[in-house]
Amino acid sequence: MEHLSAAELRDRIKAREISSFEAAKTVFARIEKYEPKIGAYISIFEETALAKAKEVDKKIASGKSVGKLAGVPVAIKDNMCTIFGTTTCASKILENFHAPYNATVVQKLLDADAVIIGKTNLDEFAMGSSTENSGLKKTVNPWDTGRVPGGSSGGSAAAVAARLCFGALGSDTGGSIRQPAGFCSVVGLKPTYGRVSRYGLVAFGSSLDQIGPLTKTVADAALFMNVISGKDLADSTSVDESIAPVADYLENLNQPVENLKIGIVPHLNAGADEQVLGAINDSINFYKSTGAEIIELEMPHLDYAIAAYYVIATAEASSNLARYDGVHYGYRTARPKDYIEVYSKSRQEAFGAEVKRRIMLGTYTLSAGYYDAYYLKALKVRNLIRGNFTKAFEKCDCVIMPVSPTTAFKIGEKMADPLQMYLADIYTIAVNLAGIPGISIPCGFDSDNMPIGLQILCPAFEEAKLLRIARMFESETNWHKVYPNIINHE
């Protein structure tokens, strides 16, 4: 049962072939068995999840209509607020924080009759690419427990890959859905900025953050998008549906995009691993074999994406994280001398090193005299990058590139050198700066049997087309059907 997709499971639950209760029980049994090795979850809601599952089963039995994710056990990244349990952001500063409300996406999942089984681990405040920056626990890659699951949505990716849920939500500020999806061989979609409400998503870089699904299949990603997309009055930056209508992402999903034109950006591949590039080339050749035209693109400003990103994201983060001060909620230092110490010691004691690094970086770049040189310049670069994509999409339907220059690296390998960690985000970051949607789908394995992700990018609000292009590949390949052996053979 654990290998069913969310859509398949939902159909069987609705057909009363499997009960939601059974599905949840199966998941909790697997969690009991494998979670100690994987460490995907920060919190698990067995009792409430089983109650909800029973409720959905009852609804179905009584012939009542049920939601799009009826009875499906799902997980959410622990930076989305839930009125139940804690919302920790994997930070000591929020370790015991109980949010007084549900994030819009959480409410939408509940309204769709999904069964929320737990909240997954992440890099503290979503700052990182390996989930090693979690202040609360360690998550490993289900394909090799000596390696990282990617990040920052590492817990969600690992949980889906290890079949510890049937789909999960993550958030993506600079690749945090796509990169762990690639590292763990699952599907990860970052929607267009403004497509999914951010209300209740604990902010890291507000102009970059976007919630999206991590799933086993492209169809499941479409299904989740059908549930979570749309304008939210509580999020001013969510886009009005009169401007960009929300599609039924499942409709026409299996219909290939005709006269497909694919853009590639060869100059970005300089530092990438040969085996990764090989798998990407094979994928491009697959599309070619379906009749797609391949167009080589010049996107010169993408070279500056990482620099611009780390200015903008950290500037916003320095302001967003100012509220964790020990005054109103969250961790407070034990014996402050005065109120200044409430701030300084609480923050010093409870924030991890990477969070502190980014707060300091952002504080610095916003300081008087530096603003123009850093923040303003970064905004200009951001506009140029947007321009690069706009121009590219005049020539092609989508752009294809790797998700990451390497497959999942060893735990601890990059912790000593933050810059190396930042540079590994080369393929994902520009997408957030441009605000466009991107998806990572499984496209192969390297010689160590570590998964490789294929990244496809489309113009803003063209998730429907993006999913169809991804589905063209998925429907003709089997990479997404392979699951980590380590789980079954250990």
Partner 1 sequence: MSDLKYKLVVGLEIHVHLCTKTKMFCGCGLEYGVTANSRICPVCLGMPGSLPVMNRQAYEFAVMMGLALNCRISRFTKWDRKNYYYPDLPKNYQISQYDLPLAEKGYIEIPLEEGRTKKIRIIRVHLEEDAGKNIHAGAYSHVDLNRAGTGLLEIVTEPDMNSPVEVRALAMELQRIVRYLGVSEADMQKGHMRFEPNVNLTINLGDKEVKTPIVEVKNLNSFRALERSVEYEIGRQLDEFAETGKVMEMGNKSTRGWDDVNQVTVLQREKEEAHDYRYLPEPDLVPVELDDQWLGDIKSGLCELPLQKQMRFVSEYGLSDYDAGVLTADRATADFFDEAVKAGGEPKRICNLLTQVGLKMANEKGCSLADLGFSAANVAELAKMAEGGDVSASAAGTILEKMTEMKENPQAIAEKLNLIQKSDAGELEAVVDEIIAANAEASQQVREGGKKSGKARGFLMGQVMQKTKGQANPKVVSEILGKKLS
The residue ranges that bind partner 1 (CB under 8 A) are 79-81, 87, 89, 94, 97, 99-101, 103, 198-203, 205-207, 233-237, 315-316, 318-319, 322-323, 325, 327-329, 339, 343, 363, 366-368, 371, 375
| CB-nearer residue toward partner 1: 375 or 409 | 375
Task: Kindly state the smallest distance separating residue 203's Cβ from partner 1, in Å.
Answer: 7
3-state secondary structure of 489: helix
- Answer yes or no: are the C-beta atoms of 130 and 148 closer than 8 Å: yes
Shortest Å, Cβ 383 to partner 1: 13
Q: Each residue of 356-385: b (16+ CB within 10 Å) or e?
A: eebbebbbebbeeeeeeebbebbbebbebb
d(CA 42, CA 407): 25
**Cβ closer to partner 1: 98 or 395?**
98
Closest separation between CB of residue 315 and partner 1, Å? Answer: 6
Q: How many CB atoms lie within 10 A of CB 322?
A: 12
Nearer to partner 1 by Cβ, of 315 and 469: the residue is 315
By beta-carbon proximity to partner 1, the closer residue of 36 and 100 is 100
Residue type, 15: A
Closest to partner 1 by CB, 288 vs 371, is 371
DSSP, collapsed to helix, strand or coil, labels residue 38 as helix
Residue type at 364? Y
DSSP reduced 3-state for 183: helix
Q: Toward partner 1, which CB reaches closer, 193 or 249?
A: 193
Tokens of 365: 């770049």
> Which residues are the active-site residues?
77, 152, 176
Structure tokens at 279: 């798998």
Among the listed residues 353, 349, 351, the one whose alpha carbon sits nearest the alpha carbon of residue 335: 349
CB 157 within 8 A of CB 184: yes
- Distance separating alpha carbons of residues 132 and 318, to the nearest angstrom: 21
Residue 177 to residue 149: CA distance in whole angstroms: 11
